[in-house]
């Protein structure tokens, strides 16, 4: 099997000596299909076998090569049958310990044998030991060659051994020496950005000289590693730029500037827009008026008012006789968006509808028909909007809330629903989970970015208290005091288990306990297994409305209330077992309080003992309300894969690059991407090399 790479062909690993079908399957588990993949499978660390150490100089924890004579060999019987070999080299003694051994091994380790061994030095009951070291017999009269380079240690999979991979890599390096692996970056660009040659980088990383800086290699900061990381980041960036170009090549609907309906919406709002909302609204309106599909990401901390900006975009779309779709990740958030858009837009004679998975029967059929014939002008929904049965009359704008919950494929499939064969709908992506600049520059390179960096006037920072669940009674009294003052309270239950059923059961038990402890107050319960209408009713009773005061004082909930829920009178939140949640999720939950003008509190009710990571997370939450700072810390703790949710979606998986470690390369990568983006052949070769079949997430 031959795979294309640039102007060259890359042979499959099956061409290597000793690689049959079983070995091919094992290598594929590591993502290795061809010789290029094998060469890009870099060592995770190195061993120094380039010199022989005297036993007398060894320290516990050393990995070392020794040469010594077997002075004693015996089998001990205790809990396990163990073979012990005592070695001496004139400077000291060491014991080799084997828990698994054969009769042949026993015979090969006789007294008087001269051995060369490699292993980790450990403490034992009678001095230093090596457990199951690598060893071979040598002849004192013959000069046995020592390793000339550091020995690589590769990431493994079940059924593979280091020596086997090293043997295959040696064959791959011979192929590399033949010059078959294309150098894709032109020399002038490599000189401009001080990038070493690909060939030399790979040779160095698989066989570093003894004097190599092992610490720099361990950190992934050696120039040879950075050369590969740079090209991989470039491939991902080019893919996203290609995605943007393909979308914009279709052309978009040029929507004329906001008119009377937008002015009427502004007039009827019971609040004034912040300067940041106005600025971002102008950017969005400008994008909509162009003949290119808008691709814009709006970031704003919890409570910054992104939804009203989306509403103005929807009104501008409807004014131009197109439909707008608002997509949310949860039913609760979809329902809240539906109520908000209905309240804002229906006085303007704009019909708003909703489609979620739980809307069934005649009501669903009716809503689908109204959407398909254009009667419904703004539709709000969950991922149900992706379903094939959902047809639009003329979709002009797709608003996707909480982008990190959806993959690129999902938002592209919604875009396809509005494609008329010629032009694509505008896309407005919103997130209340601030995205670190590193991730914005890499994962969202296909989007323009706007930030609403201002909270509405009157908002006060939420005071966060970290408290042990051993002081639960004090927390109950804090809740009682808040409810007596006619303030409302959230009590959030979390579980380690992913099981929604177990989370719901935990919330039900907590609600019953609180009803016994706080009988004078109305306590509600909401969780993910409730029917949509039940959740909507509970939230309405908790929120109240201008004509009716709230009927629920304390709402026990699972993390289903993480995003979007807006109850200005709620001023206290208790989060049980907060150490089980990530920083972004904790910050989202905390954002449900502090939405009014009253001082608000978030109590993180943890269970001891806390892990180091748990302590770190809770300290960050206590020390800051800055969502962007929290996002950066979250990235440090969890890594980009989890922050982006890509462990689930399969996107943005890097072989060599690390978005945190290599963040300083991103600006150079962006600049180089603009330089080479016009060379389609080069772009295709680079993306094919690094993404292979995975590049399809950039296809439309």
Tokens of 210: 């003894």
Check if the beta carbon of residue 121 is closer than 8 Å to that of residue 58.
yes
Is residue 252 one of the residues assigned to a domain? no
End-to-end CA distance of the chain: give it in Å, rounded: 28
Mean pLDDT (whole number) for 268-283: 92
Tokens of 382: 């969950």
pLDDT of residue 562: 60
Distances (CA, A) of 413 to 167, 369, 559: 45, 20, 28
Q: Label residue 66 by pLDDT band (50, 70, 90).
A: very high
Query: Quick one: 549 and 613 in the same domain?
Result: yes
Check if the beta carbon of residue 573 is closer than 8 Å to that of residue 490.
yes
CATH number at residue 352: 3.40.50.300
DSSP letter at 37?
H
Q: How far apart are CA 665 and CA 671, in angstroms?
A: 10
Asked whether the predicted pLDDT for residue 274 surpasses 70, the reply is: yes
Is residue 274 one of the residues assigned to a domain? yes
Greatest C-alpha distance within the chain: 100
Asked whether the predicted pLDDT for residue 6 surpasses 70, the reply is: no
Query: Quick one: 297 and 384 in the same domain?
Result: yes
Quick check: helix, strand or coil at residue 277? helix
DSSP letter at 424?
B
Number of domains, the chain: 4
Query: Quick one: 489 and 560 in the same domain?
Result: yes
Is residue 660 one of the residues assigned to a domain? no
Mean pLDDT (whole number) for 301-325: 92
Domain boundary among 113, 146, 179: 146
Q: Please provide residue 149's backbone torsions phi and psi, each rounded to the nearest 5 degrees.
A: -125, 165
564 by Cβ neighbours in 10 Å (0-12 / 13-18 / 19+) ranks as buried
86: domain range? 51-146
Q: How far apart are CA 97 and CA 127, in angstroms?
A: 12
Element (H, E) at 671: helix 666-676
Q: How far apart are CA 131 and CA 120, in angstroms?
A: 8
- Supply the Cα-derived Rg of the chain in whole angstroms: 31
Which of 252, 198, 254, 186 lies closest to 223 in space, CA to CA? 198
Is residue 505 one of the residues assigned to a domain? yes
Query: Quick one: 441 and 351 in the same domain?
Result: yes
Query: Quick one: 595 and 549 in the same domain?
Result: yes
Check if the beta carbon of residue 325 is closer than 8 Å to that of residue 385.
yes
Q: What is the residue whose two structure tokens read 């040029």?
A: 254
pTM: 0.74
Query: Quick one: 532 and 582 in the same domain?
Result: yes
Query: Quick one: 417 and 375 in the same domain?
Result: yes
3-state helix, strand, coil in the chain (%, to 5): 45, 20, 35
Domain boundary among 452, 472, 498: 452
Q: Label residue 594 by pLDDT band (50, 70, 90).
A: confident
Q: What are the tens digits of pLDDT across the range 342-371? A: 999 999 999 999 998 878 889 999 999 999
Q: Label residue 309 by pLDDT band (50, 70, 90).
A: very high
Q: What are the tens digits of pLDDT across the range 68-87? A: 999 999 998 877 889 999 99
Which of 545, 549, 550, 574 lies closest to 561 in space, CA to CA? 574
3-state secondary structure 611-658: CHHHHHHHHHHHHCCCHHHHHHHHHHHHCHHHHHCHHHHCCCCCCCCC
Quick check: helix, strand or coil at residue 499? coil
598 by Cβ neighbours in 10 Å (0-12 / 13-18 / 19+) ranks as middle
Tokens of 700: 């439309």
Q: Label residue 2 by pLDDT band (50, 70, 90).
A: very low
Q: What are the tens digits of pLDDT across the range 527-574? A: 877 887 788 788 888 887 766 678 899 999 887 776 556 788 889 999
Quick check: helix, strand or coil at residue 18? coil
Query: Quick one: 64 and 167 in the same domain?
Result: no
Query: Quick one: 374 and 447 in the same domain?
Result: yes
Tokens of 643: 């922050």
Query: Quick one: 133 and 214 in the same domain?
Result: no
Angle between helices 680-691 and 223-249 (to 10 degrees): 120
Quick check: helix, strand or coil at residue 63? strand
Is residue 538 one of the residues assigned to a domain? yes
Check if the beta carbon of residue 379 is closer than 8 Å to that of residue 317.
no
CATH number at residue 123: 2.40.50.140
Check if the beta carbon of residue 683 is closer than 8 Å to that of residue 186.
no
Q: Please provide residue 349's backbone torsions phi and psi, each rounded to the nearest 5 degrees.
A: 65, 35
Q: What are the tens digits of pLDDT across the range 415-446? A: 677 766 667 889 998 887 777 777 777 777 78
Q: How far apart are CA 382 and CA 638, in angstroms?
A: 27
Query: Quick one: 584 and 502 in the same domain?
Result: yes
Is residue 643 one of the residues assigned to a domain? no
Is residue 237 one of the residues assigned to a domain? no
Distances (CA, A) of 440 to 431, 455, 653: 12, 21, 15
Tokens of 457: 């006037």
Distances (CA, A) of 79 to 76, 82, 125, 127, 578: 9, 9, 15, 20, 44
Angle between helices 162-177 and 198-206 (to 10 degrees): 150
Q: Which residues pair with 379 in a beta bridge?
A: 325, 353
Q: What are the tens digits of pLDDT across the range 127-177? A: 999 999 999 998 877 888 889 999 999 999 888 999 999 999 999 999 999
Domain boundary among 452, 481, 506: 452
Contacts with 445 (C-beta within 8 Å, 6 or more apart), sequence order: 236, 237, 240, 241, 244, 670
Q: How far apart are CA 590 and CA 601, in angstroms?
A: 9
Tokens of 378: 């703004």
Is residue 242 one of the residues assigned to a domain? no
Q: How far apart are CA 301 and CA 307, in angstroms?
A: 12
Q: What are the tens digits of pLDDT across the range 634-677? A: 877 776 655 555 433 334 578 899 888 898 899 899 999 989 98
Quick check: helix, strand or coil at residue 655? coil
Query: Quick one: 209 and 323 in the same domain?
Result: no
């Amino acid at each position: 099997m031959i795979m294309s790479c640039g102007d060259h062909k890359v042979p499959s690993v099956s061409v290597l000596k000793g690689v049959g079908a079983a070995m091919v399957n094992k290598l594929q588990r590591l993502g290795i299909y061809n010789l290029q993949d094998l060469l890009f499978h870099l060592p995770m660390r190195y061993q120094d076998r380039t010199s022989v150490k005297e036993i007398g100089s060894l320290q516990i924890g050393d990995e070392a090569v020794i040469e010594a004579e077997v002075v004693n060999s015996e089998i001990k019987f205790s809990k396990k049958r163990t073979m012990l070999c005592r070695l001496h080299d004139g400077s000291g003694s060491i014991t080799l310990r084997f828990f698994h051994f054969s009769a042949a091994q026993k015979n090969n380790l006789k007294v008087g044998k001269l051995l060369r061994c490699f292993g980790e030095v450990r403490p034992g009951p009678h001095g230093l030991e090596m457990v199951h070291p690598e060893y071979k017999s040598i002849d004192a009269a013959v000069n046995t060659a020592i390793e000339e380079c550091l020995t690589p240690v590769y990431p493994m999979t079940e059924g593979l051994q280091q020596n086997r991979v090293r043997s295959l890599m040696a064959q791959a390096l011979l192929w590399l020496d033949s010059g078959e692996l294309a150098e894709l970056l032109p020399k002038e660009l490599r000189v401009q950005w001080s990038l070493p040659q690909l060939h030399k980088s790979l040779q160095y990383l698989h066989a570093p000289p003894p004097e190599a800086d092992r610490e720099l290699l361990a950190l992934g900061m050696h120039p040879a590693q950075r050369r590969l990381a740079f090209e991989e980041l470039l491939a991902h960036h080019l893919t996203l730029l290609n995605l943007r170009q393909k979308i914009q090549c279709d052309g978009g609907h040029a929507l004329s500037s906001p008119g009377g309906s937008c002015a009427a919406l502004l007039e009827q709002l019971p609040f004034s827009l912040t300067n940041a909302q106005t600025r971002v609204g102008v950017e969005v309106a400008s994008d909509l008026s162009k003949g290119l599909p808008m691709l814009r990401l709006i970031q704003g901390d919890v409570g910054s008012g992104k939804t009203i900006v989306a509403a103005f975009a929807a009104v501008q779309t409807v004014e131009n006789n197109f439909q707008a779709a608002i997509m949310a990740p949860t039913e609760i958030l979809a329902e809240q968006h539906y109520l908000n858009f209905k309240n804002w837009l229906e006085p303007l004679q704009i019909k708003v509808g909703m489609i979620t998975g739980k809307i069934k029967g005649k009501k669903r059929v009716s809503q689908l028909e109204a959407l398909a014939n254009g009667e419904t002008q703004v539709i709000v929904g969950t991922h149900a909007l992706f379903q094939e049965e959902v047809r639009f009359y003329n979709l002009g704008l797709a608003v996707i809330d909480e982008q990190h919950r959806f993959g690129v494929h999902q938002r592209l499939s919604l875009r396809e629903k509005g494609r008329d064969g010629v032009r694509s709908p505008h896309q407005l992506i919103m997130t209340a989970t601030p995205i670190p600049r590193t991730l914005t520059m890499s994962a969202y390179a296909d989007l323009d970015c706007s930030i609403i960096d201002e909270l509405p006037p009157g908002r006060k920072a939420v005071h966060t208290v970290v408290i042990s669940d051993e002081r639960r009674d004090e927390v109950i009294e804090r809740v009682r005091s808040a409810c007596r003052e006619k303030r409302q309270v959230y009590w959030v239950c979390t579980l380690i288990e992913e099981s929604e059923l177990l989370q719901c059961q935990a919330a039900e038990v907590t609600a019953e306990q609180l009803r016994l402890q706080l009988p004078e107050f109305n306590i509600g319960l909401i969780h993910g297994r409730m029917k949509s209408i039940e959740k909507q009713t509970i939230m309405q009773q908790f929120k109240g409305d201008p004509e009716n005061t709230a009927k629920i004082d304390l709402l026990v909930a699972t993390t289903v209330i993480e995003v979007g829920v807006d109850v200005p009178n709620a001023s206290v939140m208790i989060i049980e077992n907060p150490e089980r949640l990530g920083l972004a999720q904790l910050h989202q939950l905390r954002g449900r309080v502090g939405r009014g003008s009253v001082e608000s509190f978030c109590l993180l009710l943890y269970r001891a003992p806390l892990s180091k990571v748990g302590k770190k997370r809770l300290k960050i939450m206590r020390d800051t309300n800055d969502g962007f700072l929290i996002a950066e810390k979250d990235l440090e703790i969890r890594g980009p894969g989890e922050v982006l949710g890509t462990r689930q979606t399969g996107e943005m998986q890097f072989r060599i690059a690390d978005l945190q470690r290599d963040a300083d390369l991103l600006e150079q990568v962006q600049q180089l991407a603009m330089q080479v983006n016009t060379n389609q052949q080069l772009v295709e070769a680079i993306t094919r090399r690094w993404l292979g079949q995975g590049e399809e997430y950039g296809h439309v």
